[in-house]
Amino acid sequence: MLQNDQLAEWDRENFFHPSTPLGQFARGELSNRIVTGGKGVYIEDREGNKLLDAFAGLYCVNIGYGRTEVADAIAEQAKELAYYHAYVGHGTEASITLAKMILDRAPDHMSKVYFGLSGSDANETNIKLVWYYNNVLDRPKKKKIISRWRGYHGSGLMTGSLTGLELFHNKFDLPLDQVVHTDAPYYFRRDDLSLSEADFVKQCADNLDALIQKEGPDTVAAFIGEPVLGTGGIVPPPAGYWEAIQAVLNKYDILLIADEVVTGFGRLGSMFGSEHYGIKPDIITIAKGLTSAYAPLSGSIVSDKVWKVLEAGTDKLGAIGHGWTYSAHPISAAAGVANLKLIDELNIVSNAKETGAYFNQSLKDALSDISIVGDIRGEGIMAAVEFVKDKDSRTFFDPADKVGYQVAGALLERSKVIGRAMPQGDILGFAPPLCLTREESDTIVAAAKDAIESVAAKL
Ligand code: PLP
């Protein structure tokens, strides 16, 4: 075992951490946390702190930490066969079984799953498939992808472009030309406060229609969206949003990619967000909840309609020119099989629905009267609290005050509960493991009330 002080030093000297202010971290102005263990909804660090992780890592440890069933499946697979590739028809029992389990749970019109390693690479795959699809159909101009402001789809070149958050574009020369952004379905932040929800939905659909007309319908290939906006602020769509959007896409023969990296496998209290909102996607992106992050794995589930064209393309052109060395990695696939079995055995999806409803209602009951709480919203086991300077006029705080970060900091310091300050706006996000109990929910809600009140008193 290494000396603790040495480990912290090595961390600052050698480790390039993602999504981190690099200089502050290297200079020691930002504390490091070295995580050593986890059980249920709790993690532990080497200082001996036990923290309630109310964001399930990065909304991914859906079955909770420390499930030996998944760990054992990983160990068995590693001993039996740690690796073989999936090119040219090769597979393993785990990868084939997992593909079947995914399709058994996915909407009926879905046909096949391509495996990747991360949500980002799955969305890169999706865009390549959309372009291939339109080339096979002899529509070489139909290539642009419409995404939403505040959408999050990864941080690669294409996926960072699809992501509609400034932080992921600035100084990276993104977005790429083929990506166009449209409105976020974010009713609380609507420009015109007099709009009803129904008016706002109509405005989103009309603006999308106008954007497609402006770009030229024969140049627009696909629309990508998360059933519930995640990293952009945890924003469930207003009623009727997905129906209105799909009507516009159908009018112009534009494919729909449902990015279910967060919502897939139960987070909304339904197996898929598509099922939850009546979305009929052409491609579904999955990752996080597929293995509950016990091993890296993602997938692109393609519909019958897309698959038929891909098949016709390769019949003419030869093997699909796309593949990763680690696609369908047996160890990750074994983790996926064990994870999906546990989700069924533990009734995780219905718990997400029931405990999620309790959690969301408790947040509303406890926090609505606090002066800086402007909005409390959520769906399934996902929730956000948004802070404002003035409720009546919906005046936001100066971003420089970093109110969201202050609240997340107070939550951690005062109650050892991890929430997430969402990157754009003063928003405290929650997405605990789906095995959350009512008692744990009460702990989170009490901690949130205490943290918000303590920050409000200082402002
Ligand atoms: N899509 C969505 C909706 C996400 O929330 C994320 C990550 O948070 C991604 C894609 C990217 O996944 P990854 O970080 O595994 O590349």
For 45-54, what is each residue's pLDDT tens digit?
Answer: 999 999 999 9
Strand partners, 375: 386
Atom of ligand 1 nearest to the CA of 230: 5
Q: 119-171 pLDDT, tens per residue?
A: 999 999 999 999 999 999 999 999 999 999 999 999 999 999 999 999 999 99
CA angle 160, 162, 168 (to 5 degrees): 35
Q: Does the CB atom of residue 119 touch ligand 1 within 6 A?
A: yes
Q: 279-299 pLDDT, tens per residue?
A: 999 999 999 999 999 999 999
Q: Are strands 42-45 and 35-39 parallel, antiparallel or unpaired?
A: antiparallel
Residue 297 and residue 332 in contact, taking contact as beta carbons nearer than 8 Å? yes
Q: Does the CB atom of residue 406 touch ligand 1 within 6 A?
A: no
Atom of ligand 1 nearest to the CA of 260: 3
Residue 443: pLDDT band (50, 70, 90) is very high
For ligand 1, mutation pick of 234, 261, 292 (most atoms within 8 Å of CB): 261
Residue 182 and residue 146 in contact, taking contact as beta carbons nearer than 8 Å? yes
Q: Rounded to an integer, what distance in angstroms lies between the CA atom of residue 391 and that of residue 375?
A: 9
CA angle 381, 385, 387 (to 5 degrees): 170
Q: Does the CB atom of residue 152 touch ligand 1 within 6 A?
A: yes
Q: How is residue 251 written in tokens? A: 């009018």
Q: How is residue 57 written in tokens? A: 């890592």
Q: 170-223 pLDDT, tens per residue?
A: 999 999 999 999 999 999 999 999 999 999 999 999 999 999 999 999 999 999
Q: Does the CB atom of residue 260 touch ligand 1 within 6 A?
A: no
Please report the domains of the chain, with CATH numbers, ordered by start residue: 33-63+347-458 (3.90.1150.10), 69-345 (3.40.640.10)
* Average pLDDT over all residues of the chain: 97
Q: 244-282 pLDDT, tens per residue?
A: 999 999 999 999 999 999 999 999 999 999 999 999 999
Residue 1: what pLDDT? 44
For ligand 1, mutation pick of 123, 126, 153, 272 (most atoms within 8 Å of CB): 153
Strand partners, 376: 385
Q: What is the DSSP letter of 402?
A: -
Determine which helix (DSSP H) or strand (DSSP E) holds 159, and give its type and residue range.
helix 157-162
Atom of ligand 1 nearest to the CA of 226: 3
List the one residue out of 113, 383, 347, 106 whose CA is nearest residue 268.
Answer: 383
| Dist. CA 153 → ligand 1 center (Å) | 5
pLDDT at 404 over 80: yes
Q: Does the CB atom of residue 267 touch ligand 1 within 6 A?
A: no
Q: Rounded to an integer, what distance in angstroms lies between the CA atom of residue 405 and that of residue 422?
A: 8
Q: Does the CB atom of residue 62 touch ligand 1 within 6 A?
A: no
- Give the CA-trace dihedral at 335, 338, 340, 344, to 10 degrees: -160
| Dist. CA 102 → ligand 1 center (Å) | 19
| Dist. CA 288 → ligand 1 center (Å) | 8
Q: Rounded to an integer, what distance in angstroms lies between the CA atom of residue 224 and that of residue 285?
A: 10
Q: 47-82 pLDDT, tens per residue?
A: 999 999 999 999 999 999 999 999 999 999 999 999
pLDDT at 413 over 60: yes
Q: Rounded to an integer, what distance in angstroms lies between the CA atom of residue 272 and that of residue 131?
A: 25
Q: Does the CB atom of residue 116 touch ligand 1 within 6 A?
A: no
| Dist. CA 292 → ligand 1 center (Å) | 13
Atom of ligand 1 nearest to the CA of 154: 11
| 3-state percent helix, strand, coil for the chain, nearest multiple of 5 | 45, 15, 40
3-state secondary structure of 340: helix
In the block, tokens 């909102």 appear at: 277
Residue 4: what pLDDT? 59
Question: Residue 345 — φ and ψ, nearest 5°?
Answer: -60, -35
Residue 287 and residue 106 in contact, taking contact as beta carbons nearer than 8 Å? no
Q: Report which protein residue has its CA nearest ligand 1's atom 12.
A: 119
